[in-house]
Amino acid sequence: MALPPRCLVDDLRAEEVLLPPEAQHHLARVLRLRSGDAIELVDGRGGLAHASLAASGAARIVAREPTAAPDEPRVELAVAMPRLTRLEWLVEKACELGAARLRLLYTRYGERDVNPTRLFRLQRLADEALAQCRRLHRMEVVAAATLDSVLAAGAASQAEVWFAAPPGQSGASAPRAGAARRAVLAL
């Protein structure tokens, strides 16, 4: 039996939730679901609800699951900006692998910057990947920063910071189990 499709919504507290226009289109036109078909709703903060599709473009919640806690440690990827097509792929894969946040880094040879419109699109791609890979917690795509500011923020929050290095070069040691609640992986 196939799993019901998932939609990301803002709030799961109401008995009937209006679905975003993109979700309405996807469910009705692409998946060809009909009124009464089962779907799942997630809020990106660990909430999950089982619902049935209504003809009005809404979903009626049938049952709610207990809110799930985020995975520990929360892993943040700090990545030099690749070209935009590769960046979109990176956002999808980082979300599928369970990263809590993707922070873009300003580097000497990386792409220059990501404008707010592109950042919004990248967040939307992360949200689509969340529904596709059945995650409950939203991956945040954050505007670019310098490596120094990322390291300072990591030190302030007592996060472990690991660096990925090519084979043959020295890199950070493997993380210690249970040592930190948050980790920053700089690639």
Contacts of residue 127, defined as CB under 8 A and 6 or more positions apart, other chains included, come to 8, 44, 138
pLDDT digits (tens, 9 = 90+) for 89-111: 999 999 999 999 999 888 877 76
Full 3-state SS string of the chain? CCCCCEEECCCCCCCEEECCHHHHHHHHHHCCCCCCCEEEEECCECCEEEEEECCCCEEEEEEEECCCCCCCCEEEEEEECCCHHHHHHHHHHHHHCCCCEEEEECCCCCCCCCCHHHHHHHHHHHHHHHHHHCCCECCEEEEEECHHHHHHHHHHCCCEEEECCCCCCCCCCCCCCCCCCEEEEEC
| Reported pTM | 0.80
Confidence of residue 156 (pLDDT cuts 50, 70, 90): confident
Which residues does residue 23 pair with via DSSP β-bridges, in sequence order?
none
Q: Please give the residue that has the higher pLDDT: either 159 or 41.
A: 41
Instruction: Give the tens place of pLDDT for each residue, 108-144.
Output: 777 677 888 999 999 999 999 999 999 999 999 998 8
pLDDT the model gives residue 181: 66
